[in-house]
Structure 1
Amino acid sequence: MQVLVWLFRFAIVLVLVWFAVRNSGEVTLNGLPGQEWKVSLVFVLLIAFVGGVVIGLLAWVPTVVRQRRELSRLRKAASQAEVLGAVPPPPADPPRADVHGI
């Protein structure tokens, strides 16, 4: 399975390199009046991709922080409940009469 994952990753990298080579032309970025930059299209696409990843991660962080805080609170509550004896121990698994379900 690991080999398939690495082959898939390698194929994606090859496609991206091929795309970069095929689109290596220059584009003009117009900033403020009188400002003009000539840069490679691949560079512009890379910057746009990295910017999207950063924005996505920044949007994801509050959710992760909130979930970790809640998980910590719930673990603490469960630990206190076990110490006080409010939570019975989990039942033992009954022995299986038939292994194959027949």
Structure 2
Amino acid sequence: MKFIVWLIRVLVFVLLLVLALANTQMATLNFLAGYAWQAPLILIGLAFFVVGLLAGLVSAVPSMVRLRMENGRLKRELRAARETPVVKEEPPMPPLI
């Protein structure tokens, strides 16, 4: 199974490498206020990929922090529950008539 996973990884890498080598022509990216960036097309695509990756990571940070805090709270509650002694209650006696 590991062989198949590595084979797929190598195939994806080779495919992306061929794509990068095929898109080396210059492209111009025009920003607001007259700014322009001229770079190879694959470099512009890579820059947008990195910006998207960073935006996704930054948007995931609040939920990760919240989950870590909840995990710590639940661990403290579990530790407190394990430390409290268990009291076994006997069932009530049936009524005597």
TM-score between both structures, scaled by the size of structure 1: 0.76
Post-superposition CA distance 1:19-72 (Å, at most 9, x none): 111111110122332x43321000000000011110001111111111111011
Percent same amino acid among aligned pairs?
Answer: 33
The reply to whether residue 51 of structure 1 matches residue 51 of structure 2 is yes
Look at both structures and tell me which one has the larger radius of gyration over its CA atoms. 2
AA aligned to 1:70 is E
Q: Where does residue 18 of structure 1 map in the other structure? A: 18
Residue 86 of structure 1: how far off its partner (Å): 4.8
Residue 6 of structure 1: how far off its partner (Å): 1.2
Q: Where does residue 91 of structure 2 map in the other structure? A: none
Q: Where does residue 76 of structure 1 map in the other structure? A: 76
TM-score between both structures, scaled by the size of structure 2: 0.80
Distance in 1, Cα, partners of 2:39 & 2:13: 22
Write out the 4+ residue segments of structure 1 that deviate beyond 4 Å after TM superposition.
none
Give ranges in structure 2 of 5+ residues lacking alignment. Answer: 89-97
Give ranges in structure 1 of 5+ residues lacking alignment. Answer: 89-102
- Residues 83, 48 of structure 1: alpha-carbon distance in 2 compared, 3 angstrom cutoff: same
Task: Choose between structure 1 and 2: higher helix proportion.
Answer: 2
- Which structure has more RCO (C-alpha within 8 Å, separation ≥ 6)? 2
- Residues 6, 20 of structure 1: alpha-carbon distance in 2 compared, 3 angstrom cutoff: same
- Residues 29, 84 of structure 1: alpha-carbon distance in 2 compared, 3 angstrom cutoff: same
Secondary structure of 2:9's counterpart equals: helix
AA aligned to 2:76 is K
Q: Where does residue 93 of structure 2 map in the other structure? A: none
The reply to whether residue 61 of structure 1 matches residue 49 of structure 2 is no
The CA RMSD over aligned residues, in Å, is 1.9
The count of aligned residue pairs is 87
Residue 87 of structure 1: how far off its partner (Å): 9.4
